[in-house]
Amino acid sequence: MSKSRIYLDYNATAPLIEPARAAMLAALDLPGNPSSVHAEGREARALIERARRQVAGLAGAASSNVIFTSGATEAAATVLTPRYKMGRSGLDVAHLYVSAVEHPCMLCGGRFLPEAVTRLGVDRQGVVNLQALADRLQAHDRSKGLAMVAIQQANNETGVLQPVGEVAAIAKEHGALMVVDAVQAAGRLPIDINALGADFLLLSSHKIGGPKGVGALICAGEIMMPSPLIPGGGQEKGHRSGTENPAAIAGFGAAAEIASIGPDEKARHLGELRDRLEAAVKARAADCVFYSAESPRLANTSFFSLPGLKAETAQIAFDLEGIAVSAGSACSSGKVGPSHVLAAMGEDAVLGGIRVSIGAETTPADIDQFMMVFDKINAKREKNTKENGALV
């Protein structure tokens, strides 16, 4: 990444950290297939199992309950299924309940039919309606199969933290399975699959400074498991077939080990930078709207709109000035369309929001430079709005 540019889009992907890069390079020198029993194969297998322990440590899980996938999207597609096994017996899950602000990989419902997916509303801060969840689960017909609840620990656009513990308590009260998307929370909050009350947890490597193209489905136990999304050779204990990618997995493991160190201290530092940015924006643009600012949220994330300025226009303007920010989430910012998160919150989804997400390499000087560019963009906005009141 060019040093002449300022990267403020960590929620989309974090730059590869050096320990992950080193682990990947070392793994690339290993010739063996991790499923082979000879010395070369065993060496590759040992590398994967070390990474499995590192990822398990990040999530407070047993290493035997970590299933490596190509990313969190595949992990979601694996776990969001109506077909489960408990031992050798089949087990049906009849309905999936998700919040309306989930990541698209959760919102689409995985392998559930559309009519078997219910989206739960959120308030103006983007927090899920707990009473609606309780009512839905109370009305769920368990004779047709179990219910499943899927919820983010932290939203990828607003950074808002969902009350996962309360959601889990409601789910357990009604005998529902609990899936937690911890992709954005990893490395920024302490994560413990058991403390969260989750049956399954999703993680993604590239959000914590590891390589792209690898993630994990983490299970609280091994008794009840989803039917495989990718059957075949039986890798990952038969839960995800296909030869593992030792280099990517090694990088993921190294990044997970770093991410597990002092998340609270990191959050304090990031929060100071984020607050500095927001205070400066407010001082220059009093009409700026900050989303989810009244609810607990990730310390690294600021999501806001400037009346009269489309988020896509602002994103392009920042990019031309050497600053990378996002107009919403990375999975949707490459295409024209309103933010489903803002729409669910009852906000102006057409105007969109500018997401600034900072990380380990962000400095106070970066924030100052962002504000210099912001001043230019805001001055143009105010001029255009005064002249014609139109969106630019």
CA pair distance 161, 263, nearest whole angstrom: 15
- SS3 sequence, the chain? CCCCCEECECCCCCCCCHHHHHHHHHHHCCCCCCCCCCHHHHHHHHHHHHHHHHHHHHHCCCHHHEEEECCHHHHHHHHCCCEEEECCEEEEEEEEEEECCCCHHHHCCCCCCHHHEEEECECCCCCECHHHHHHHHHHCCHHHCEEEEEEECECCCCCEECCHHHHHHHHHHCCCEEEEECCCCECCECCCHHHHCCCEEEEEHHHCCCCCCCEEEEECCCCEEECCCCCCCCCHHHCCCCCCCHHHHHHHHHHHHHHCCCHHHHHHHHHHHHHHHHHHHHHHCCCCEECCCCCCECCCEEEEEECCECHHHHHHHHHHCCEECECCCHHHHCCCCCCHHHHHCCCCCCCCCEEEECCCCCCHHHHHHHHHHHHHHHHHHHHHHHHHCCCC
Catalytic residue among 108, 219, 288, 331: 331
- The total number of residues shown for the chain amounts to 392
Q: Is 219 a catalytic residue?
A: no
Catalytic residues: 331
